[in-house]
Amino acid sequence: MERRRRVERLIAVTRYLVEHPCQLISLSTFGEELGAAKSSLSEDIGLIKRMLDREGEGWVETVPGAAGGVRYLPELTGAGARTLVASLAQELSHPARFLPGGFLYLTDILFTPVIMEGVGRIFAGRFRLFEPEWVVTVETKGIPVALFTARALGVPAVIIRHESRVTEGPAVSINYLSGSTRRIQTMSLPRRALPSGARVVVVDDFMRAGGTARGMHELMAEFGAHVLGTGVLMATREPENKLVPDYFSLLVLEEVKETGPELKVRPAAWLEGG
Amino acid sequence: MERRRRVERLIAVTRYLVEHPCQLISLSTFGEELGAAKSSLSEDIGLIKRMLDREGEGWVETVPGAAGGVRYLPELTGAGARTLVASLAQELSHPARFLPGGFLYLTDILFTPVIMEGVGRIFAGRFRLFEPEWVVTVETKGIPVALFTARALGVPAVIIRHESRVTEGPAVSINYLSGSTRRIQTMSLPRRALPSGARVVVVDDFMRAGGTARGMHELMAEFGAHVLGTGVLMATREPENKLVPDYFSLLVLEEVKETGPELKVRPAAWLEGG
């Protein structure tokens, strides 16, 4: 029986940690739930930590002290990240995806949770150490990138709208030049959406010149927020100098103009390194 | 050593199943990965199934046959669903959330993944047996409801836009009367987004008269899609008869006009039953 109860505990704790990413659970909570002593639980969690840390898809953090506990931090790094991005590059290089004006049909990929969960974990692996409190994007196609990055970081997302909603109280609006629509657009965020001094990361699905990303940086400055990093699922290779100084993308869209309207999607160079 | 290897297997299989919801994994895949015989794995999976089914937060399905395997289907039913919805009702009843015109500030809740993941699991528990292939919503605030419902069902989401995007090819557009903006709006979906005969569920964050939901039903009819169900996070109690025949909501917004502009959020009645 003792042995059976230990295996049951291991399953229950593993399931709870993985299903509640980033939530700190105290050992006493687990202990009450499972009827186990702290010493047994500590041993269980040591084993779970060794198993979960091993696979490069996340890790278990134990926080000491009275307010401490254990939490699972999902990420996707190394070979797992390279495999996902390589398969996306292959899928997105299909000629049927190439749209007029040098665009790519990304929408189905963006709204497939099983893919975007992996993308969110890659971003979480890059951003977690900066301790962001919010993930910011602009509607509409940036939303899945933001939501799944926020899920893996254990924080909320904040969505900038194109129009200000009268129903959501005072808002800050700025104008920016969008590369994808090639016109001046407005982005707007209600004051109540972010407190002053918030630590944020900015994400989006696609970057050409970086006008939208720069607009988000400017809007964040209006809120007194600290932008800790910028990530996009895909960036074009040209222009090489974007309007935001630092960003990283998972995919690069090459435009091979010499041989006609030919596009090609490659994994970003930093992923090759390791 | 044998005992240690078994506990490691249990942790690894539990983690993989929970982290890849709805994906069917064959026993031979697990076997190769973990260096275990099918008979040991079957026993492990039996134990994992008993533990995971027990908690009312999902269940493990085993599919027999050569193309079979095992998968984890996340849901939230019974007491877990009631607890989540009751805590949402309490949070959303806070007077600071009441907006001019009888609206409620929901945005921060909608974009908090740890909450919306639970909401998506409740919807998945209601819709799974209809075997939907897509979860459909209209931008912007319906998107998190759709994405997390889609995640728990293991299918993609399809997002209807307010403008048709010239870059995404031929699109179908319809006009509808939106209760929240109180004006005629357009909704549009590219032809390539859904094949004819698709099995879909329709979700949204908020329903007043049901004009937006009916618009989505009409647009789905243009695509030859079968609408298997309609779910909203919150519906107003008045008007009682909505423009769509069947829907279910998790929360009900009451308007108590006699005593001034007083609003109250309650869990929907069907949740009380069990």
**Could you tell me how many residues make up chain A?**
274
If asked whether residues B83 and B69 sit together in one domain, one would say no
Last residue of a domain, one of A46, A74, A102: A74
Sequence letter at residue A92: L
Residue A59's closest chain B neighbor by CA?
Answer: B15
If asked whether residues B151 and B200 sit together in one domain, one would say yes
If asked whether residues A177 and A59 sit together in one domain, one would say no
Given CB atoms, is A24 within the 8 Å cutoff of chain B? no
Picking from A6-10, A82-86, A126-130, B56-60, which range would have the lowest pLDDT averaged per residue? B56-60
Query: Does position B84 have pLDDT exceeding 70, yes or no?
Result: yes
> Where does the pLDDT of residue B244 fall: very low under 50, low under 70, confident under 90, or very high at 90 and above?
very high
CATH code for the domain in which residue B54 is found: 1.10.10.10
Q: pLDDT per residue over A193-208, tens digit each?
A: 999 999 999 999 999 9
> Where does the pLDDT of residue A261 fall: very low under 50, low under 70, confident under 90, or very high at 90 and above?
low
Last residue of a domain, one of B36, B54, B74: B74
- Determine contact, residues B48/A14, Cβ cutoff 8 Å: no
Average pLDDT of the residues in A55-65: 89
The pLDDT, as a whole number, for residue B2 is 44
Structural domains in chain B (count)? 2
* Secondary structure letter of residue A222 according to DSSP: H
**Location of structure tokens 């019974």:** B78
Average pLDDT of the residues in B189-214: 96
Reference A120, options A133, A107, A135, A132; nearest CA is: A135
Average pLDDT of the residues in B38-66: 90
Q: Tell me how far apart the alpha carbons of residues B200 and B196 are, in angstroms, rounded to a whole number.
A: 11
If asked whether residues A92 and A21 sit together in one domain, one would say no
Rg, C-alpha atoms of chain B:
21
If asked whether residues A40 and A157 sit together in one domain, one would say no
Write the ipTM. Answer: 0.94
If asked whether residues A49 and A145 sit together in one domain, one would say no
Last residue of a domain, one of A74, A94, A116: A74
Closest Cα of chain B to A190: distance in Å? 10
CA distances A149 to A56, A88, A101, A123, A203, Å, are 17, 17, 29, 6, 9
Closest Cα of chain B to A272: distance in Å? 25
If asked whether residues A127 and A139 sit together in one domain, one would say yes
Q: Tell me how far apart the alpha carbons of residues B48 and B62 are, in angstroms, rounded to a whole number.
A: 11
Residue A257 has which token pair? Answer: 């103009």
If asked whether residues A210 and A248 sit together in one domain, one would say yes
- Classified as helix, coil or strand, A118 is helix
List, in order, residues 6 or more apart from A27 with CB less than 8 Å away: A38, A41, A42, A45, A69, A70
Q: Tell me how far apart the alpha carbons of residues A78 and A272 are, in angstroms, rounded to a whole number.
A: 9
Residue A146's closest chain B neighbor by CA?
Answer: B111
The pLDDT, as a whole number, for residue B274 is 47
Given CB atoms, is A46 within the 8 Å cutoff of chain B? no
Residue A263 has which token pair? Answer: 């596009």
Q: What pTM, to 2 d.p., does this model score?
A: 0.95
Residue A96 has which token pair? Answer: 């049927």
- What b-and-e string marks burial along B58-86, b requiring 16 or more CB atoms within 10 Å of the CB? bbbeeeeeeeebbbbbbbbbeebbbebbe
Which helix (H) or strand (E) element contains residue A145? helix A143-153
Picking from A57-61, A110-114, A166-170, B175-179, which range would have the lowest pLDDT averaged per residue? A166-170
Strand residue runs (E) in A152-209: 157-160, 171-178, 183-190, 199-207
**Location of structure tokens 């109540």:** A192
Interface subset of A 138-197, CB within 8 angstroms of B: 139-140, 143-144, 146-148, 150-151, 154, 156-159, 161, 166-169, 190, 192-193
If asked whether residues A181 and A253 sit together in one domain, one would say yes
If asked whether residues B223 and B168 sit together in one domain, one would say yes
The pLDDT, as a whole number, for residue A47 is 95
Q: Which residue has the higher pLDDT, A257 or A48?
A: A48
Rg, C-alpha atoms of chain A:
21
Closest Cα of chain B to A70: distance in Å? 16
Q: Which residue has the higher pLDDT, A255 or A87?
A: A87
CATH code for the domain in which residue B134 is found: 3.40.50.2020
> Where does the pLDDT of residue B16 fall: very low under 50, low under 70, confident under 90, or very high at 90 and above?
very high
If asked whether residues B69 and B83 sit together in one domain, one would say no
Q: Which residue has the higher pLDDT, B220 or B4?
A: B220
Strand residue runs (E) in B134-182: 134-138, 157-160, 171-178
If asked whether residues A101 and A160 sit together in one domain, one would say yes
The chain-wide mean pLDDT, for chain A, equals 91
SS (H, E, C) A82-102: HHHHHHHHHHHCCHHHEECCC
The pLDDT, as a whole number, for residue A203 is 98
**Closest CB from B14, B161, B190 relative to A11:** B14
pLDDT > 90 in chain A, percent: 72
The pLDDT, as a whole number, for residue A1 is 37
Determine the residue among B30, B72, B75, B111 to mutate to test chain A binding: the one whose Cβ has the most chain A Cβ atoms within 10 Å. Answer: B111
Instruction: Quote the Cα angle for A92-A96-A102, to 5°.
Output: 75
User: Domain range for residue A36?
Assistant: 2-74
